[in-house]
Amino acid sequence: MRKLGAPLVALLLLISCTKSSKPEKFLSDRGYQVFFDQSYYVELEMPFDDVWATVVVALQDIGWNVDAQTEISGMMTTGMATIGTNRDRYACREWPGSRTRVDEMRCKLAVHVAAENETVTRVRASADIEGRYVYFTTRGDEKVGGWWPCSSTGKIESELFDALLSRFEPLKYDPPVYRR
């Protein structure tokens, strides 16, 4: 019995430490569920062509200019845009007690639209965020330290999903468009 117990306990510990295959999810500002596995995504019960066209319009609605798009691959990217420091306030790392701060942020979006099957289309979004760090010198003047990569928290991506899904909202009730 003891020989079987030790490997069983080790296996249970290993399983408890591994990440679940179930995607993480959170609610957007408008109450839509946004999922995350390797990037942020939503699924819609709509044809690819309708979703593709609406993503382009939704990006324009929230102030993003589409820089490049290839409908065959389902990829589009936006140009770099200044987003202010409050739009995704937890994206850039802050060091407590440090004399550095982020005074400006910029971002570029990559969006992938893919038909999962004939009735379901998945929209993935990834924000590439950079923060401009400034610091105080020993003389007390402020200097720019440069642009550093930040980690998206999903806030920018959920803005896109809110704009996209709200355009389909009248259709949401009969039949359901948004997959919860």
**Domain extents for the chain?**
21-171
DSSP state of 98: -
Q: Categorize the per-residue pLDDT at 136 as very low, low, confident or very high, splitting at 50, 70 and 90.
A: confident
Q: What is the mean pLDDT of residues 65-81?
A: 93
Q: Which CATH architecture has domain 21-171?
A: 2-Layer Sandwich (3.30)
Stated pTM of the model: 0.77
Other residues' Cβ atoms within 10 Å of the Cβ of residue 90: 11
State yes or no: pLDDT of 24 exceeds 70.
yes
In this predicted structure, what is the pLDDT of residue 100? 82
**CA distances in angstroms from 51 to 96, 141, 165, listed in the order given:** 43, 50, 10
Name beta bridge partners: 121.
44, 115
**Closest by alpha carbon to 180, among 45, 39, 20?**
45
Q: Of the candidates 180, 126, 124, 119, which has an alpha carbon nearest to the alpha carbon of residue 155?
A: 126
Q: What is the pLDDT of residue 38?
A: 83
Residue range 126-138: average pLDDT? 90
